[in-house]
Structure 1
């Protein structure tokens, strides 16, 4: 079974597969509301249309994963919640069995991601919160990785700049709560290819190195300064 559950394994193998209690149409297809237990132990309770799950329903997998939400022609489609065997959870939009659109994923370690999805991956604009530190990344994602403009925010400072292959890259700046900031740029360097450096197929290990400029005070907003000067006059 895939991470999202393969509910369609038995669906097209006949109207009487497994056990079923519920409504049927004139073709003896499951149609309306019903309860089904499939041969592999999975169970579904909800709406059917012409033999396929269609509408709202609840599907429980034999490994205790479960999906509660909307179906269209046998596939998760629309709004729904998927709880995985390890306890992680996705709440949001689906398109043809794929996480697609806006949704929130809560991971086993307590991290959360809220934002856009495409083909089961973080893709578009979103916010990832790290549970242990409460740090956040807010910005652009491409195929599950931080890519493009974004901000990495910590308790007393933040980095604003560009990201590439999930690492900060190029121009950016650190802004500190004490009223100063530092401009600079990140360079992505290959530091090692792992244990066997002679292995041509070894995946290189990369790291981002910060090349810093001077620390300067943060300038006050010009509109705010002008307003104060007018009051003093």
Structure 2
């Protein structure tokens, strides 16, 4: 190896410490407004405090992602907007680098979610709108999944009932715009996969839910829990006509609008809706399939720029 080649090799091996241009404090730390290029090619422009990103700033990842909002001690914290490389975007609250609080997520497929977040997941009360059909889910979320009391709003009918891990399960009712409703319950069933010739594995038992219709009535109040009938009134006492736990069905937040993770049709995870009305179509899951996960931002790397 020539002496020139050796010098070139040493220059190439020299680590990239990044660059910084901006204000510093008396200790020489980044403090105030500044611009930085990180060793991996990411860039940051905004406020610093004692060497860390703190306050308003914009961080651009080299893969095309971008965060613009508040920072606290190098972590996304406060109000901010994160645009992901696939075209999806989250706008809302952040706590310690995670989506937490109130926020709106616009997915790459056109679906949208607006509501509560906790530890980077949909958690609490929220509205998910499916782009393909304009249907929406209004209700409770737990660790990113539809769980508990909820409402599926379609073009000319809606379903009110209980959800378990994104599936319809338990008592509920279909309410039609014609002024009637069908009561019943989704129950767990098993559907065996048909055997194929020369198939070595045993049939796979796929958990599904099936709609069992009970009765058709005029419009009524609805409760996500079983209604407990009061005891028969004693002679001389007023009749106890109130039903325990009944309440008005959740009101629609807004008129059905386009946008959501997947087509909202009753019948995903095996659930099938009432056969009396074609308004309830079958889909891949009891409830429209949700995106497996929101865009994962690669936490901002530490800045090792030279002083």
* Alignment match, 2:212: 211
Quickly say closer, same or farther: Cα 1:190–1:73, change in 2 above 3 A: farther
**1:115-154 superposed Cα distances (whole Å, 9 cap, x missing partner):** 0001110000000000110100000000000000010000
Counterpart in the other structure of 1:18? 18
Q: Give 1:167-186 correspondences, 5 Å limit.
A: 167-186=167-186
- Alpha-carbon distance in structure 1 between the residues aligned to 2:200 and 2:112: 35
After the TM superposition, which parts of structure 1 deviate over 6 Å for at least 4 consecutive aligned residues? 193-196
Q: CA RMSD in A?
A: 2.1
Answer yes or no: is 1:100 the counterpart of 2:100: yes
- In 2, Cα distance between the equivalents of 1:48 and 1:119? 25
Give CA deviations for 1:7-38 in whole Å, capped at 9, x if unaligned: xxxxxxxxx94100001112211110000000
Structure with greater strand percent = 1
SS at match of 1:63: coil
Structure 1 pair 47/24, CA: closer, same or farther in 2 (3 Å)? same
SS of the equivalent of 2:64 reads: coil
Contiguous gaps of at least 5 residues in structure 1: 1-15, 221-233
Distance 1:164 1:71, change over 3 A: same
Q: State the number of aligned residues.
A: 202
Per-residue CA distance 1:99-129 (angstroms, 9 max, x = gap): 0000000000100000000111000000000
What is the alpha-carbon distance in structure 2 between the residues aligned to residue 205 and residue 17 of structure 1?
54
Partner of 1:38: 38
Q: Give the Å deviation of 1:187.
A: 1.1
Quote how far apart the aligned CAs of 1:205 are: 3.4
Contact 1:29 1:51 in 2 (8 A): yes
In the alignment, which residue of structure 2 is the partner of 1:7?
none
Provide Cα deviations, 1:40-90, integer angstroms capped at 9, x if missing partner: 110000000011100000000000100000000000000000000000000
Write out aligned runs for 1:1-233 (5 A). Answer: 17-192=17-192, 198=202, 205-218=206-219
SS class of match (1:28): coil
Which SS does the other structure have where 1:214 is aligned? strand
Question: TM-score, normalising length from structure 1?
Answer: 0.82
